[in-house]
Amino acid sequence: MGERSLRRRKAELCSASWPPTRRSVPLEVAIPGSVLSVEQDLRDKTYKVGLISRALAVFRVDAVHIYYDEETEENDVELFKDLLEYHLTPPHLRKDLFPIRESLRYAGLMPPLKLPNHVVPTRLKNGDVIDGLVRSRRGYECEVYLGRAGVGTLKPCEAERGSVVTVSVASVRPRLLLRRASWGRTYTGYAVKVVKDLRDLVKLAKEAGYLVIGTSKYGLLSIPSAMSQLTGRPLLVAFGGPSEGLMNTVGSKVFDIIINAIPYQGTESVRTEEALEATLALINVVEGP
């Protein structure tokens, strides 16, 4: 790549605007529930999930699949899923959507995501898009709670009480009137899915045209050398657990390529959350928007 191309690429990267858009091709991740097995208490497990969630959101991952390996415990999968879904929910809606329960005791330790739908404007103006909660419904008219922005009227409305709806501001005065809206191509987080068998997920991904990537310190390819294979392809990137590596879990033959995102590592092992950040950072440069 010549100097002029590098300058142009740098300018493209630096000119990214807010709010972020979804990726032009899907990027999905598979992580075993056993990543929480090495943490001894709920506080540490919660903090680790927060780090993983931040990495997924920072790099605009479209979906995360929590899968079972030999070390995965059912309770950890449920906790993992609960915490990710809580973290993805706009803060002004969490109290209504998540009743008090033990799994969320330390949820405040997770660093805020600050996704576009997590920020409610202090002063509303026509056209502002917000996620709200339907507090009541009468006929085809709903009262929608918008956090610090107050309560607005959505009409027509067919959503049930307790539903989350995306609305835009139609009028601020004399009363707050809303209309149904969509975030469109704006990135507002990732989907959370649970799968029993990683092999089944890989098979479905390949049938859908995904390039399936395994990650391992024994990977034969680094990201730069795999660049031509990654560009423009929907990706599923799989990570292994803390003790049973990915190759021990499903073997190497199920993957299209196996990459090592941290060559010459200075520690005996790399934690899953560390490998996740390193791998997604490199893919982000290769794949672009």
CATH number for the domain spanning 246: value is: 3.40.1280.10
Give SS3 for 282.
helix
Nearest 5°: phi and psi at 60?
55, 50
Is residue 45 in some structural domain? yes
Angle, nearest 10°, between helix axes 42-58 and 74-88? 50
Considering the domain architecture, whether residues 148 and 253 belong to the same structural domain is answered as no
| Sequential pLDDT tens for the chain (289 residues) | 455 555 555 555 555 678 999 999 999 999 999 999 999 899 999 999 999 999 999 999 999 999 999 899 999 999 999 999 999 999 999 999 998 899 999 999 999 999 999 999 888 999 999 999 999 999 999 999 999 999 999 999 999 999 999 999 999 988 999 999 999 999 999 999 999 999 999 999 999 999 999 998 877 655 666 666 777 889 999 999 887 778 777 877 899 988 888 888 888 888 899 999 999 998 888 776 7
Considering the domain architecture, whether residues 158 and 52 belong to the same structural domain is answered as no
Is residue 1 in some structural domain? no
- For every residue of 104-155, DSSP letters joined together read GTTGGGSPP---GGG---SS--TT-EEEEEEEEEETTEEEEE-GGG-EEEES
Angle, nearest 10°, between helix axes 42-58 and 272-287? 10
Q: What is the DSSP secondary structure assignment for residue 61, as one 8-state letter?
A: -
Domain at 172, CATH number: 2.40.50.140
Considering the domain architecture, whether residues 226 and 269 belong to the same structural domain is answered as yes
DSSP-assigned beta bridge partners for residue 211: 235
Distance CA 286, CA 265 (A): 21
Considering the domain architecture, whether residues 208 and 272 belong to the same structural domain is answered as yes
Q: Which domain holds residue 176?
A: 118-180
Considering the domain architecture, whether residues 198 and 103 belong to the same structural domain is answered as yes
pTM for the full predicted model? 0.90
For the chain, first and last CA: distance in Å?
Answer: 19
Considering the domain architecture, whether residues 199 and 250 belong to the same structural domain is answered as yes
**Domains: count for the chain:** 2
Is residue 185 in some structural domain? no
